Structure 1
């Protein structure tokens, strides 16, 4: 579904991604693990069109999307939930969800999808009229994910969905990621909580200082001593 081929990405003079290649097959959950500043968020921003690669190519469903405008990438079926849950604070929960469907014209379908989001996240249904700036961190994360789903993505890019959340909520968010995947959406996940990420992923890539240094099935990476000591708290 997605093939990233030897991309180089710069932030000003900083060489943030160096010849990164990876692929994601339809129906998978693939996770990227690595320490802060390794280039994981940069990669997601490049895939969603916020950054342009200097070199290399990004193929999505057989067509190049490298450097395409963000709205074209959303239209093609890629949605990005950025780090830090950027919800529109002065708008209600429901207005945020409607905004997620801004490229769509099918009123009936949009209504049905809002109901689906409320089924996935019952907490949002209780808060539908509430200003999203007044929600808790966990509720804002649910809203950011729900809003991304409103574009009916085939591929969902999730950046640090568990950041700053209580352990109980982290579990709930990961259950929902699995649910979204089961309902037919492919997921590329960036996550600091490597244990949780590997527990739901099919495959994983390890990124260090802008390069992919290791890849394999989630089970292989969970069993690797190098990964255990670097990212899984050593046990």
Structure 2
């Protein structure tokens, strides 16, 4: 579904992504794990059109999307849930969700997706008239995910969904990510909580200083001593 071929991305003079190649098949959950500053968020921003690669190519369902503007990429079927949630804090829950569907014209489908989002996140239904900025971090994370789903993506990019959340909420968010995937959405998950990420992902890539240093199935990475030591708090 997504194929990244040897991309290089710069922030000014800083070479942030150094020749990354990876692929995601339809229906998978693939996770990218790595330390802070390794290039995980940069890679997601490049896929979603917020940054342009200097070299290399990004193919979505066989078509090159490298360098396309973000809006065009959303239209093709890729949505991102940004790091830090970024909800529109002065707007209600309902208005935030409406904005997620701004590129769509199918009123019936949008209504159905409102219902789906409220089924996935009953808390959002309870709070639908509430200002997004007054909600807890966990509720805002649910809203950011719901908003991305309103674009009806085929590929959902999730950037650090568990960041700053209480352990119980982290479990809830990961359960919902799994449900979203089971209902047919392919997921690329960037996550510092490597244990949780590997528990739901099919495959994983490990990124260090802008390069992929290791990849494999979640089971393979779970059993790797290198990964245990670096990311899973094992010995």
The question of 1:98 aligning with 2:112 is answered: no
The question of 1:133 aligning with 2:133 is answered: yes
Q: Is there any run of 5+ residues in structure 1 with no aligned partner, and where?
A: none
| Other-structure match for 1:228 | 228
- TM-score, length of structure 1 as denominator length: 0.99
- TM-score, length of structure 2 as denominator length: 0.99
**How far, CA to CA, are the matches of 2:6 and 2:226 in structure 1?**
25
| Pairwise CA distance, 1:224 | 0.1
SS of the residue 1:222 aligns to: helix
| Pairwise CA distance, 1:118 | 0.3
| Other-structure match for 2:188 | 188
C-alpha RMSD of the superposition: 0.5
| Pairwise CA distance, 1:109 | 1.0
The question of 1:207 aligning with 2:211 is answered: no
**How far, CA to CA, are the matches of 1:196 and 1:188 in structure 2?**
14
**How far, CA to CA, are the matches of 1:142 and 1:84 in structure 2?**
12
- The count of residues paired between Structure 1 and Structure 2 equals 235
**How far, CA to CA, are the matches of 2:190 and 2:106 in structure 1?**
31
**How far, CA to CA, are the matches of 2:134 and 2:219 in structure 1?**
39
| Other-structure match for 2:12 | 12
| Pairwise CA distance, 1:112 | 1.1
| Other-structure match for 2:76 | 76
**How far, CA to CA, are the matches of 1:174 and 1:34 in structure 2?**
18
Structure 1 runs, 4 residues or longer, greater than 3 Å off: none
| Other-structure match for 2:163 | 163
SS of the residue 2:10 aligns to: strand
Cα deviation digits, residues 185-207 of structure 1 (max 9, x gap) = 00000000000000000000000
SS of the residue 1:178 aligns to: helix
**How far, CA to CA, are the matches of 2:75 and 2:10 in structure 1?**
26
Cα deviation digits, residues 147-191 of structure 1 (max 9, x gap) = 000000000000000000000000000000000000000000000
| Other-structure match for 1:143 | 143
Cα deviation digits, residues 85-104 of structure 1 (max 9, x gap) = 00000000000000000000
